[in-house]
Structure 1
Amino acid sequence: MVLIKELKNQHEWKEAFPVMKQLRTHLDEESYLELVQEAVQMEGYMMAALYENKKLVAVTGFMPMMTLYNGKFIWVCDLVTDSANRSKGYGEALLNYVHDWSKENGYKIVSLSSGLQRVDAHRFYENKMKYDKVSYQFLKRL
């Protein structure tokens, strides 16, 4: 049985950490929990997880944003499926959850970025999920 639910508290965020750590390898549990708490309070960040037979196997984090380019939209910050459970449609199901949430809440655009090295993820976003590649993202560490 597959279930998707929003994660709303520190206990649930902590349960998602082992899967999220596979994407955000630089985070330890303490800094992860601090960042999630602050993002929820300050940015409206939300997390949702997909459970297979009551075991958390995939997680996404997303939040509302507004820019002059997109107007009002949803930014997918994180999307990861446990490495032992990939290619089972869980990423697609979670992204569709984000799409449905976005439509229900008046958002017409969902956007995300993906690391240059994540070629399989790019194929997934473009071919399976029908996302358009519209820009490059740049970063400068100060």
Structure 2
Amino acid sequence: MSFQFKILEKSQINDVVPLVQKLNEFKLSEALLKERFAEMVTQNYECAVIYDNEQLVGVSGLWFCTRHYVGKTVEIDHVYIEDDYRGKGLGKQFLNWIYAYVKTKGCTTVELNTYVQNYPSHKFYYNEGFEILGYHFLKKF
């Protein structure tokens, strides 16, 4: 397998919608996800992807910002790798590529949220050296 890690062109953002729908806890429609991604790419957002030859097999959003407690940081978001590619070290390779990329943009930390019931991701991120700093709260209007 020949994997390619790269930042997706903004014009190709809809390519990731099928993968994000598989991850999507909130079961959002394709149309709504496309609308939101179209807005996201106009903000401090980039999308890292994994290709196996021509097939898109992984995705991670990258939100760049500066926070008072850590400085310039990136929040990785909606990380997803197709089931057939899990458990083979691809996630670790992908994160290592992301770490190197965001360092070139001046980031000194990486942050993320993961769903409470997503136990496999917790183990993965612990093994990557992430620590739990708090809770993520959400209030809908």
1:53 to partner: Cα distance: 2.6
Q: How many residues align?
A: 139
Residue in 1 aligned with 2:78? 78
Structure 1 contact 79–91 (Cα < 8 Å) conserved = no
Inter-partner Cα distance in structure 1 for 2:140 and 2:32: 19
Equivalent position SS for 1:88: coil
1:110 to partner: Cα distance: 0.6
Residue in 2 aligned with 1:20? 20
1:80 to partner: Cα distance: 0.4
Inter-partner Cα distance in structure 1 for 2:70 and 2:136: 15
Residue in 2 aligned with 1:141? 140
The one-letter code sitting in structure 2 at the alignment partner of 1:112 is: L
Inter-partner Cα distance in structure 2 for 1:58 and 1:117: 21
Residue in 2 aligned with 1:63? 63
Give percent identity, aligned residues only.
Answer: 28
Residue in 2 aligned with 1:112? 112
Structure 1 contact 21–27 (Cα < 8 Å) conserved = yes
What TM-score, normalized to structure 1? 0.88
Inter-partner Cα distance in structure 2 for 1:69 and 1:9: 30
The one-letter code sitting in structure 1 at the alignment partner of 2:37 is: V
Residue in 1 aligned with 2:9? 8
Residue in 1 aligned with 2:36? 35
Equivalent position SS for 2:40: helix
Equivalent position SS for 2:7: strand
Gaps of 5+ in 2: none
Aligned CA-pair RMSD: 1.5
Structure 1 contact 76–111 (Cα < 8 Å) conserved = yes
What TM-score, normalized to structure 2? 0.89
Equivalent position SS for 1:22: helix
The one-letter code sitting in structure 2 at the alignment partner of 1:138 is: F
Deviation track 1:55-110 (CA, whole Å, cap 9, x = no partner) reads: 11111111111222222211112210112321122222222222111111111011
Quick check: 1:87 aligned with 2:87?
A: yes
Gaps of 5+ in 1: none
Inter-partner Cα distance in structure 1 for 2:71 and 2:117: 29
